[in-house]
Structure 1
Amino acid sequence: MQKSQLDTVAAATSDPTREQPWADLGLKADEYAKIREILGRRPTSSELAMYSVMWSEHCSYKSSKVHLKQFGELSQETPIGPMLAGIGENAGVIDIGQGYAVSFKVESHNHPSYVEPYQGAATGIGGIVRDIIAMGARPVAVMDPLRFGPLDADDTHRVLPGIVAGVGGYGNCLGLPNIGGEAVFDETYLGNPLVNALCVGVLKHEDLHLAKASGVGNQVILYGARTGGDGIGGVSILASETFEDTGPAKRPAVQVGDPFMEKLLIECTLEIFAAGLVAGIQDLGGAGLSCATSELASAGDGGMVVHLDKVPLRDSTLSPEEILMSESQERMMAVVEPADVEAFLAICKKWEVEASVIGEVTDTGRLEIDWHGERVVDVPPRSVAHDGPTYHRPFARPDWQDALQADGAEALARPATGEELKATLLKLVASPNLCDKSWITDQYDRYVRGNTVLAQPSDSGMVRVDEETNLGVAISTDCNGRFAKLDPYFGAQLALVESYRNVSTGGATPLAISDCLNFGSPEDPAVMWQFAEACRGLKDACAELGVPVTGGNVSLYNQTGETAILPTPVVAVLGVIEDVTRRTPSGFQAEGERIFLLGETREELSGSEWAHVVHGHLGGLPPQVDLAAEKALSQLLVEGVGLLTSAHDVSDGGLAQTLVESALHRNIGASVAVGDDAFLGLFAESTARAVVTVTEADADALVALAAKHGVPLTPLGRTGGSELTVEGQFTVALDEVRTAWSATLPAALA
């Protein structure tokens, strides 16, 4: 925003016709007119700055909230107990028993990570961690679902190393294990990578904190890093506009992260919580002070006065507008009773965290902000934070959808001989989406803090919550954008059930979800149809599976010019396990064990990795969703803890990929029979399936358990040796498979 003479409320009243740069700040003409109507005058430049960032797509959900509201209609009960905090809070909070709760959420930092990969990804991790802190929880782990353009594209080589380094650098410095995520490659993400970040934290029920400013006379304290010029407008504006084909232009600065300050902020905040010194708290993320002040005031008693000149600055030349729009990182805002201010500031001093009293709670019903004694903001806080525009964007099934769905994979040429099947397997395991991701995950500390139970490449991440009882939680994130393109309703459900299945294979009972809905421009009716269908699909599946939506994030305008990304509704499922020492591992554990396939295999190849990698084909209908079968499989897997020696879900790449990953886990081979149609048996991607192993002595018990839950059970073969044999078709040495599987990323990114 252009610096100019101080624009006060008095000046706005006496000079109503002054031209203002509302369009440059991303506001529409009718939105600017609405602001004038709310205020009964033109806004000051500071007010205009606040409304522009808070009414942005990223902060206000103005195009998506009409569809998101259906998530609030779901039951708030989980298989364990009530949801303690949900949609509208900084993060969801779930009761997991024994007096414990967990807070978790997944969010996006897509556009900043394209502009500045390292800092964009790093501050994405920092922001989601602060959301978890703000709920009163100690962060215990992070995850990173990532999407990139083709692996051989120049821009992928520009953004991928920086994004991975940013995720690892920030998380490692915080001492948080990275226990899972994804790295998916598709041409639609070229120029628009997706960087989604998840954090999970642990708290006792009584430690829950909410974002509200209540109690007239209570003091408003800003603490953490100083406010600078980095990230002015930041993600709030950056994520609310389509990238142009011409490349970076007119884009706000990306925030700069300092993980060491964030670590101090975490410990300082948790000690403040333990001392009982906080009446309300909010992290500063998107929209910075504009968001924190307006949301705290709106959710509390409705009034707050802030002295903006008391905000500690890194750059003394910043104007009030810039201070309000800055998204500088590592900052929190707390509401503290006057008698507790001294103790609050003492704890901050102990942790070398700068803190300043910048205002207090009032009963005026107004958010009033002064700059050196001059009033620059006087607004109803709810009009900024919660009563922004609501768009009923037109949406319609696109004309091309029928033709896309009619173009199935059934007619594609298939391998016919054993040697061709072997070559197909080796080609698929070496493909970017199925290959070994340790080039990425080795840059992350997966075991710091000592409570990581499962991490990559296991089906889900798992952490121990209580060291005495071994209570733990498991989390998985998933989405197949190709499936969502073929049918967004079922594509969203497929993302959900894969995460649900992944949590179950480890032995955890799925409890709840968080989602990060990544789509193209909402101004395109076809994109809005995809979004609406995905939301409807998630709601229907959650209702049937009995898992509530605790919150999440919407990321729109993910497209470059006219090219939208694949619709990518990433779904994170959190589950609870009573004893992490009894979890089920993902890979084969010993030789001579029986291998079984749970679930039914159908001819479902459209949208598959085989069609994508071998034929470059996308068309047809995605695999069938059977929620009752998924629920039955989950119950079997949870009840089977202690009986099953390993369990691995069947998804991308089909049974072939599952067998390869299970075998390479401990370098234990297998000999299997996959039925009369070996190609279909190996590469179909039917859902509600898992490969499990048991000892010979326990085979009958597994048969009985499968019958009890009505889950189809197919004997496949036995573990053992140093080869993978598909009987009657081919044998391949595990060393050859491992070479193909592990070479792809290092060769491309060396």
Structure 2
Amino acid sequence: MSLDTVATAQANPDASQPFAELGLKPDEYARIKEILGRRPTSSELAMYSVMWSEHCSYKSSKVHLKQFGDKAVKTDALLVGIGENAGVVDVGQGYAVTFKIESHNHPSFIEPYQGAATGVGGIVRDILTMGARPIAVMDPLRFGPADAADTRRVLPGIVAGVGGYGNCLGLPNIGGEVVFDETYLGNPLVNALCVGVMKHSDIKLAKAAGAGNLVVLYGAKTGGDGIGGVSVLASETFESKGPAKRPAVQVGDPFVEKVLIECSLEIFAEDLVVGIQDLGGAGLSCATSELASGGSGGMKVQLDKVPLRDPSLSPEEILMSESQERMCAIVEPSKIARFLEICEKWDVTVTVIGEVTDGNHLEITWNGELIVDVPPRTVAHDGPVYNRPLAQPAYIDAVAKEVINVPLPTTADEIKATVLKLAATPNLADKSWVTDQYDRYVQGNSIQSQPDDSGMVRIDEKTHLGVAVATDANANWSYLNPYEGAKLALAEAARNIATAGAKPLAVTNCLNFGSPEDPGVMWQFAESVRGLADGCLEMGLPVTGGNVSFYNQTGAVAILPTPVIGVLGVIDDVRTRTPMSFDRAGLDLYLLGETENDLAGSEWAYMHDQRGGIAPTADLQREMRLIDLLVAGRTKKIFSAAHDLSQGGLAATLTEMVLRYNTGATVQLDNVGLALLSETPGRVVVAIDPARTAALTSEAASQKIALTKIGTTGGDSLVINDAKISLVELRKAHTETFPKLFG
């Protein structure tokens, strides 16, 4: 096939081009021609198609995501906000922490191991490009029914991919979720979060400034994997018969990435780069156009200099390839020799592929022929923006009228049977089968991880300064009321950090939804964004960035609206954290917060095939007072343990607490069925030494948080009213589910 150059495009203006196959609409193609004043070359078409895809351009979500800026919290803690590879916050003592969460859903359905592995690799590079050392990862996961054949196909591969890549990088996996629901059948959600740490002076940005500076590609060679990944795979609904288009999923090599991390950190330490960008979604198309538009706008690239794994790749394929473990840096000529020297030391492939110019176009040549000549901002930032139709789905009013009618236990036998049934259900069962495949302790700074409410890592070994991170989403509540669901997920993630005694500081998000072309899905999305933006404003927490994943849909069946909210908090001394559970007898157990009749969207209702009713309403003022109480409880040494109530209510919380250190408890509850199974938000169980009763009572009163004594710790059973459940029997129920399902 002859090379399609800019000159050819001008000479043959009417040549037909496969824009539709590349995911572009006719009006989008017309807009590209209008920008260029001619038809695009095939290489330009490749670049626009990947960069204007839903996954890269946020064309359906931009109009709503603006709220995160419009309602932004003014805080000195935010050092880098939305728009860069990841947000950065000040955590004190001269340290900055960067964190972000992204999705790799569709690739993980097609190729579970590589899809999940490269999801981890991509988010780690996003953190690295900010100038930070990655220190921990997390992985919120969603699957179809636990006993479904396809879940048995994808779950083991996805878990192995997350563990295999992260473990090889030497990054502890400190948290996440595994949730099952039939709407994720055929559309598993693989969200990956990474946290990195640096000094304030180390922050790096994606910009190509300074004419004459060099464009340097380093890391792995470019191959044919992942071509069209973001434009076709992540930006299209799966048909009910399975995906029609199956571009090659990216293939990762964690050992190459580990070397790339160390090489990059040494380069950063010597201040050898002006700008830096990783090659993730959209590959070189993204890196070159974003760096150029982030800087002065002019750049020349010689595409034939790109080192290839597969020499048969066409220019278009090289521009679209999403091969992993690659970075693009802007380096001053005076520093290039040292840059190359460091790459050679680490045995990292490195090539100068171009230079920054004083023009305003991105020009790419192939063996001396001009094949791309575009204003870079039109590729990277000025893509189409859709204000898509949205309408409240009919089901919203219908489910609100439904009355939750589930059996509530009253007798000792019923209480015991209920607690054992909840302990064994896949959404609440022990997840050790999953988490034991992850290294939680590598690097030696993990303070807590699964099954704690949040993950926590120490970032300074002298002062013991640390950060805590939690991710949460309750898709059942978001289904009933997307606005409240997003607020409730935010509140839960913040509460999960506070139970350990850390103070919430900043928010990231991964918004997973069905097709944006469905007005009902678009309404769910818009309401979720509005809820999260309002909630963050009220709680004084900045949104530092995130990810939107649309088209999580098989045929007409969309996933439940699943906004995964990540909250990062800071703790001045990790040695003083409040543990999740108690390890001795003689402590008093108290419930913080009031219990209402909140069975709508609960796990117990779901287990009885009921998904209706009215979701709880988030009381964020009370949540903030509860957070203050939990942080004070740590600093004033009031609590021996604290554990959040969420899915499964008090029954699940007590199960997890007594099994953690094999220490029983005796609990007395009024209205026992509702007390055990309600999922009213804003509640925490705390254990205290009886000598601290007055201190707890005083703190709770000052924060206007309801306080109820429910029992004491000790023994070898969980005793609830007249029901006695031996810890041996409870542990058997809780731990056998996953090995039985997945071998």
How would you bin the TM-score normalised by the shorter chain?
over 0.9
1:109 match: 104
Contact preservation (8 Å) 2:107, 2:233: yes
Contact preservation (8 Å) 1:76, 1:83: no
User: Take 1:709 and 1:400, find their aligned partners in 2: how far apart are those partners?
Assistant: 39
Q: C-alpha displacement at 1:413, in angstroms?
A: 3.2
Where 1:211 maps in the other structure, the secondary structure is: coil
The residue type paired with residue 195 of structure 1 is V
Give the one of 5, 18, 21 matched to 1:21.
18
Contact preservation (8 Å) 1:58, 1:237: no
State how 1:179-578 maps to structure 2 within 5 Å: 179-409=174-404, 411-578=405-572
Where 1:640 maps in the other structure, the secondary structure is: helix
The residue type paired with residue 153 of structure 2 is R
Contact preservation (8 Å) 1:111, 1:235: no
Q: C-alpha displacement at 1:418, in angstroms?
A: 2.2
* Percent of paired sites with the same residue: 66
1:62 match: 59
TM-score (structure 2 length as normaliser)? 0.99
Contact preservation (8 Å) 2:50, 2:230: no
Cα 1:681–1:724 shift into 2, 3 Å: same
Contact preservation (8 Å) 1:624, 1:686: no
User: Take 1:227 and 1:142, find their aligned partners in 2: how far apart are those partners?
Assistant: 26
2:31 match: 34
Contact preservation (8 Å) 2:292, 2:298: yes
1:589 match: 583
Where 1:226 maps in the other structure, the secondary structure is: coil
The residue type paired with residue 486 of structure 2 is A
Contact preservation (8 Å) 1:499, 1:572: yes
2:120 match: 125
Q: C-alpha displacement at 1:75, in angstroms?
A: 3.5
Contact preservation (8 Å) 2:583, 2:662: no
1:668 match: 663
Q: Deviations over 1:591-639 (max 9, x none)?
A: 11010000111010011000111x1110011122110111011000001
User: Take 2:741 and 2:613, find their aligned partners in 1: how far apart are those partners?
Assistant: 31
Where 2:330 maps in the other structure, the secondary structure is: strand
2:628 match: 635
2:731 match: 738
Q: Deviations over 1:116-136 (max 9, x none)?
A: 000000000000000000000
The residue type paired with residue 473 of structure 2 is C
Where 1:587 maps in the other structure, the secondary structure is: coil
State how 1:655-734 maps to structure 2 within 5 Å: 655-675=650-670, 677-727=671-721, 729-734=722-727
Where 1:94 maps in the other structure, the secondary structure is: strand
The answer to whether structure 1 residue 71 and structure 2 residue 72 are counterparts is no
Q: Where does structure 1 lack aligned partners over 5 or more consecutive residues? A: none
2:618 match: 625
Where 1:318 maps in the other structure, the secondary structure is: coil
User: Take 1:400 and 1:455, find their aligned partners in 2: how far apart are those partners?
Assistant: 38
Contact preservation (8 Å) 1:589, 1:646: no
Contact preservation (8 Å) 2:132, 2:198: yes
User: Take 1:132 and 1:237, find their aligned partners in 2: how far apart are those partners?
Assistant: 25
Where 1:601 maps in the other structure, the secondary structure is: coil
User: Take 1:655 and 1:357, find their aligned partners in 2: how far apart are those partners?
Assistant: 60
Contact preservation (8 Å) 1:150, 1:186: yes
Contact preservation (8 Å) 2:56, 2:230: no
1:602 match: 596
Contact preservation (8 Å) 2:53, 2:230: no
State how 1:166-185 maps to structure 2 within 5 Å: 166-185=161-180
Q: Deviations over 1:182-222 (max 9, x none)?
A: 00000000000000000000000000000000000000000
The residue type paired with residue 301 of structure 2 is V
Give the one of 19, 25, 49 matched to 1:52.
49
User: Take 1:67 and 1:405, find their aligned partners in 2: how far apart are those partners?
Assistant: 25
Q: C-alpha displacement at 1:233, in angstroms?
A: 1.1
User: Take 2:632 and 2:72, find their aligned partners in 1: how far apart are those partners?
Assistant: 25
User: Take 1:691 and 1:306, find their aligned partners in 2: how far apart are those partners?
Assistant: 59
User: Take 2:688 and 2:301, find their aligned partners in 1: how far apart are those partners?
Assistant: 64
* Cα RMSD after superposing both structures: 0.8
Q: C-alpha displacement at 1:415, in angstroms?
A: 2.8
Q: Deviations over 1:234-278 (max 9, x none)?
A: 134211000011113212110000000000000000000001101
The residue type paired with residue 668 of structure 1 is T
User: Take 2:517 and 2:474, find their aligned partners in 1: how far apart are those partners?
Assistant: 23
User: Take 2:688 and 2:552, find their aligned partners in 1: how far apart are those partners?
Assistant: 45
The residue type paired with residue 616 of structure 2 is P
The residue type paired with residue 307 of structure 2 is P
User: Take 2:473 and 2:224, find their aligned partners in 1: how far apart are those partners?
Assistant: 36
Where 1:576 maps in the other structure, the secondary structure is: strand
Contact preservation (8 Å) 2:507, 2:541: yes
Q: C-alpha displacement at 1:76, in angstroms?
A: 4.5
User: Take 2:77 and 2:415, find their aligned partners in 1: how far apart are those partners?
Assistant: 49
2:139 match: 144
User: Take 2:77 and 2:574, find their aligned partners in 1: how far apart are those partners?
Assistant: 23
User: Take 1:83 and 1:142, find their aligned partners in 2: how far apart are those partners?
Assistant: 21
The residue type paired with residue 739 of structure 1 is K
Mean CA deviation greater in 67-76 or 200-209: 67-76
TM-score (structure 1 length as normaliser)? 0.98
User: Take 2:157 and 2:269, find their aligned partners in 1: how far apart are those partners?
Assistant: 37
Q: C-alpha displacement at 1:400, in angstroms?
A: 1.9
User: Take 1:134 and 1:733, find their aligned partners in 2: how far apart are those partners?
Assistant: 51
User: Take 1:283 and 1:201, find their aligned partners in 2: how far apart are those partners?
Assistant: 15
Contact preservation (8 Å) 1:68, 1:535: yes
Q: C-alpha displacement at 1:652, in angstroms?
A: 0.5
Contact preservation (8 Å) 1:109, 1:235: no
User: Take 1:160 and 1:71, find their aligned partners in 2: how far apart are those partners?
Assistant: 33
The residue type paired with residue 104 of structure 1 is F
Contact preservation (8 Å) 1:419, 1:730: yes
Where 1:90 maps in the other structure, the secondary structure is: coil
Q: Deviations over 1:530-565 (max 9, x none)?
A: 000000000111011000100000000000000000
User: Take 1:268 and 1:39, find their aligned partners in 2: how far apart are those partners?
Assistant: 39
Contact preservation (8 Å) 1:264, 1:353: yes
User: Take 1:621 and 1:446, find their aligned partners in 2: how far apart are those partners?
Assistant: 38
Q: C-alpha displacement at 1:417, in angstroms?
A: 2.0
The residue type paired with residue 464 of structure 2 is N
The residue type paired with residue 66 of structure 1 is V
2:40 match: 43
Q: Where does structure 2 lack aligned partners over 5 or more consecutive residues? A: none
User: Take 1:236 and 1:286, find their aligned partners in 2: how far apart are those partners?
Assistant: 9
Contact preservation (8 Å) 2:73, 2:537: no
1:650 match: 645
Mean CA deviation greater in 297-306 or 696-705: 696-705
Contact preservation (8 Å) 1:148, 1:194: yes
The residue type paired with residue 735 of structure 1 is V
